[in-house]
Amino acid sequence: MFDDDGDVYACLRAGASGLLVKDMALEEILSAVHVVAAGEALIAPSVTRRLVAEFAGRPEPRPRPRELAGVTAREGEVLPLVGRGLFNAEISARLHISAGTAKAHVASLLTKLGARDRVQLVIAAFDAGLVSPAAGVLA
């Protein structure tokens, strides 16, 4: 368990792809390791609730969406969906594209934005003003 929210933020800023709590069942921990090893991100629900509460409590307005250099129009549609935590299958359904095409757009965004994983894409979407806590980030 993280005793200090500063530890959680430091881990995310350092590039953590997963945050677990020590009282999780062994099966959940093993599943989480597989999820992160597959390139996805996983944050324990109790930590997610704290993150959402922190972001929702911030009074400052988010910046207006800005253009991201080299990102295509379609990738610009995909990034906010990644920022809201949608999986490739959900993105493909929302944009009426194949799951393979959604995966290709995510891979392209990872490369173009220099992101190591989807967690960093969420941060990029948030920093660009494409998503906000009210839009369901990390919910």
| Residues 86, 34 share a domain | no
118 lies in some domain: yes
61 lies in some domain: no
62 lies in some domain: no
Give the pLDDT of the chain (139 residues) as one tens digit per residue: 455 667 777 888 888 888 888 888 888 888 888 888 888 888 877 777 777 777 777 765 555 556 688 899 999 999 999 988 899 999 999 999 999 999 999 999 999 999 999 988 988 888 888 887 654 444 3
CA–CA gap between residue 63 and residue 91 (Å, rounded)? 24
What's the pTM value of the predicted model, to 2 decimals?
Answer: 0.56
Looking at the structure of the chain, the number of domains it has is 2
| Residues 82, 36 share a domain | no
| Residues 84, 51 share a domain | no
DSSP code at position 43: E
Burial class (CB in 10 A: 0-12, 13-18, 19+), 43: buried
63 lies in some domain: no
68 lies in some domain: no
Residue 113's domain comprises 73-135
66 lies in some domain: no
Q: Which helix (H) or strand (E) holds 106?
A: helix 99-112
112 lies in some domain: yes
Burial class (CB in 10 A: 0-12, 13-18, 19+), 101: middle
| Residues 78, 39 share a domain | no
pLDDT of residue 82: 92
